[in-house]
Amino acid sequence: VARSPRGESDPVVRKITDEAGAIYQRIQRKAKPQMKLPIRSLSNVKYRPKAGYFQLSGRHKIRTLTVNTVKTFAQTLKMMALSKELIEANDMATKREAYYISKNWGKAGFSEQPESDTIMDDVEAMFGVNREQLKFVPEEKGGDIAGNLVVIDTDSKGRKLRIDCTKFGSGAYSIPSEVENLQFQSKAKFILAIETAGMFQRLVKYDYWEKNNCILISMGGVPTRACRRFIRRLSDKLKVPVYAFVDGDPYGYFNIYRTLKVGSGRAAHLNEFFCVPKTSFLGVTPQDIKDYKLPTHPLKEVDIKRAKDALKNDPFVIHHKRWQAAINQMLKMGVRVEQQAFAKHGLDFVVKEYLPAKLKNTDKFLP
């Protein structure tokens, strides 16, 4: 693989070499080697309404080399070294490949990929960069797109490619893992971010995007970073509203919607780039269950715990009284609902009745 002409001038390489140099200097002074990392949890973030997303509060942890931490310390250094090698070689590795590369690290190798992912996230947070800058890319699918949008990409030979998202028939354009260099052209009036692939396919089948001049995005559950960054860049470029349409349960509200809108505690160092603050919540709300007499499922213990934890500890929920009211309403009702529940009233009900009614009152959407 060709060596990058940037080499040592790359800012991430400089961060890595500076950190390694500081550790070496401590060893020279016969001091214990250590690293300083931000604490990646919801307890270490604050919701900044003006910024529109979670930001780190500033608390850190110190990873010191001891008998008990020697393996984790070594793994962190090896992950830093691997990133430096990839950048200098102008190469990349998937998260899975990085895990397998560690099998060459002797006793510092990872037993399972979640261990590798955690160390990768630590390195990312320590340097305040994203894993793509470290040259690690995810393998998960970014999401699907249909509607009034032309994506302008570049192939391996530098040629511009125009991808018309209206031309995929019953299929869709898949969001790539790297979206930073994409360009967009669109006259859509809004973006609809949808939790489930099933609901996305339903709307595509009924030509919803064409009849309503919008862009449909299937998040496929919790949106990947690529999906969130894609939506964020679309939002910034097109200056149109983004509406979220997810299941009416705590997982949909917090793990999916809240992560899309303001980010997460574990990746707060990156929320500035990977959240979409202008998103508002279309549904499904607890009130929708009553208004549309939807079939429901009882809340599970994990749902109740997640909801109560959000009321007590989630900075976003604590800031928004309307969200507190909605969560308390859900807890009082003791039920959750899926997007597909609208099928009770007919397969086209969500297209012909629910979405049109909701979109007439966007000012009433939850923040």
Task: Find, among 167, 214, 217, the residue nearest to 187 by Cα.
Answer: 214
Residues 46, 49, 55, 59: is their CA dihedral positive or negative?
A: negative
Whole-angstrom Cα distance, residue 120 to residue 95? 9
Whole-angstrom Cα distance, residue 231 to residue 217? 8
24's CB contacts (< 8 A; 6+ apart) are none
**257 an active-site residue?**
no
The beta strands (E) that lie in 135-202 are given as: 136-137, 144-147, 150-154, 160-164, 173-174, 183-185, 190-194
Place of tokens 């898949």: 174
312's CB contacts (< 8 A; 6+ apart) are none
Bridge partners (DSSP) of residue 55 are 46
- 217 three-class SS: strand
- Do the Cβ atoms of 339 and 244 come closer than 8 Å? no
Tokens in use for 274? 């990977």
Whole-angstrom Cα distance, residue 259 to residue 254? 7
Q: How many CB atoms lie within 10 A of CB 273?
A: 16
Among residues 100, 206, 251, 354, the one annotated as catalytic is 100
Active site residues: 100
